[in-house]
Copies of this chain bind each other. A is one copy, B any other.
Amino acid sequence: MSGRDANGVTISDVAAAAGVSRQTVSNVLNRPARVAPETAERVRQAIDELGYRPNRAAQNLRERASRCIGLKIPAPIGVSNFLDRFLYSLTVAAGSAGYHLLLFAPTAVDEELATYEDLIRTGTVDGFVVADVSARDRRLPWFAERRIPFVCFGRPWGQEDGPYTWVDVDGAHGIAQGVDHLIGRGHRRIAYLGWPEGTGFGDERRRGWQRAMSRHGLDTDGLIGVCAEGVAVAAEAAERLLARPEPPTAFVCGSDTHAVGARLAGGLDAQGRPRVEVVGFDDSPAATLISPRMSSIRQPLDEVARRVVSLLTTRVQGSDSPPEGVMLRPELVARE
Binding site for B on A (CB under 8 A): 6-7, 9, 51, 53-58, 60-61, 64, 66, 68, 73-81, 83-85, 87-88, 91-92, 95, 100-105, 118, 120-124, 146-148, 230-232, 257, 260, 285-286, 289-290, 292
CA separation between A68 and B125, bound complex, in Å?
Answer: 12
Q: Can you show 27 pairs from A to B with CB atoms below 8 A apart?
A: A6-B147, A51-B121, A55-B123, A56-B66, A56-B123, A57-B57, A57-B60, A57-B123, A61-B61, A75-B88, A78-B285, A79-B285, A80-B81, A80-B286, A81-B81, A81-B84, A87-B103, A91-B104, A92-B105, A95-B104, A100-B102, A100-B103, A100-B104, A100-B124, A232-B289, A232-B292, A257-B289
Quick one: closest B residue to A284, CB to CB? B79
| Residues of B with C-beta under 8 A to A75 | 88
A103 and B81: CB pair below 8 A?
A: no
Residues of B within 8 A of A292 (CB): 232
Chain B residues, Cβ within 8 Å of A84 = 76, 78, 81, 83-84
Choose one: B66, B92, B104, B121; the contact of A53 (CB below 8 Å). Answer: B121
**Distance of A262 Cα from B51 Cα, bound (Å):** 54
CB distance A103 to B121 under 8 Å? no
15 further interface pairs, Cβ-Cβ under 8 Å (given A61-B61, A76-B85, A102-B103): A6-B146, A9-B121, A53-B121, A55-B61, A56-B123, A57-B57, A57-B61, A57-B64, A73-B87, A79-B286, A81-B83, A83-B84, A95-B104, A101-B102, A260-B290
User: Could you tell me if A58 and B61 are in contact, using CB atoms closer than 8 angstroms?
Assistant: yes
Residues of B within 8 A of A104 (CB): 91, 95, 100
Q: Output the least CB separation between A100 and chain B (Å).
A: 5
Taken together as a complex, chains A and B put the C-alpha atoms of A39 and B163 apart, in Å, by: 44
Contacts of A285 in B (CB 8 A): 76-79
**Complex partner residue of A88 from B76, B85, B95, CB under 8 angstroms:** B76
Contacts of A103 in B (CB 8 A): 87, 91, 100-103
